[in-house]
């Protein structure tokens, strides 16, 4: 779904603010409804969004929430110009190999993942928009804190509860 758990959002914003500046070039991958754009709006960030499903761009008016909104797949998208990448509820939609490929190309990344969350594609209505998104399928529905740490040793824990976790490749004075 284009929404994510509300858990840890305050901690995620604190982490982003601590590790970026207003001049940082930030990419929000898979923005869905534009959650991180809304959360970071009070800090005056100019964030680009990369969404694989164009139906969300139209339905949720992402062009009004992001400096630039692009339609594309993070697996083959050039992210080299971005200082910070937000992968909010994205990793579970990718294969393990594709996830490693993406993470290896991120300078600084914040990853949010739901734990033990199987999901197929989605088919629902949002207002007058009929949204059929096959990209919502979870290819890594087996994620738990232990599996994330084993599968992605380049990531460290930022925040977690029993349903959801945030991880980063940035070592910091918090948890990681």
Q: How far apart are CA 53 and CA 55, in angstroms?
A: 5
Tens-binned pLDDT, residue by residue, of the chain (176 aa): 577 888 999 999 999 999 999 999 999 999 999 999 999 999 999 899 999 999 999 999 999 999 999 999 999 999 999 999 999 999 999 999 999 999 999 999 999 999 999 898 888 888 999 988 899 999 999 999 999 999 999 999 999 999 999 999 998 655 54
User: Is residue 167 within 8 Å of 113, Cβ to Cβ?
Assistant: yes
The predicted structure's pLDDT at residue 170: 95
How high is the pLDDT of residue 176?
Answer: 41
Domain ranges of the chain: 9-168
CATH class of 9-168: alpha beta
Q: pTM value? A: 0.94
């Amino acid at each position: 779904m284009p929404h994510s758990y509300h858990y840890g959002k305050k901690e995620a914003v604190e982490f982003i603010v601590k590790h970026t500046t207003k001049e940082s070039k930030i990419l929000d991958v898979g923005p869905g409804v534009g959650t991180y754009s809304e959360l970071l709006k009070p800090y005056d960030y100019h964030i680009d969004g990369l969404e694989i499903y164009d139906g969300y761009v139209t339905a949720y008016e992402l062009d009004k929430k992001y400096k630039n909104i692009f339609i594309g797949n993070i697996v083959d998208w050039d992210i080299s110009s971005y200082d910070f990448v937000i992968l909010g509820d994205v990793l579970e939609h990718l294969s393990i190999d594709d996830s490693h490929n993406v993470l290896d190309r991120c300078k600084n990344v914040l990853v949010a993942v739901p734990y033990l969350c199987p999901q197929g594609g989605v088919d629902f209505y949002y207002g007058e928009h009929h949204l059929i998104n096959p990209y919502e399928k979870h290819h890594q529905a087996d994620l738990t804190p232990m599996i994330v740490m084993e599968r992605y040793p380049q990531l460290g824990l930022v925040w977690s509860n029993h349903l959801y976790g945030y991880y980063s490749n940035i070592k910091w004075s918090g948890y990681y």
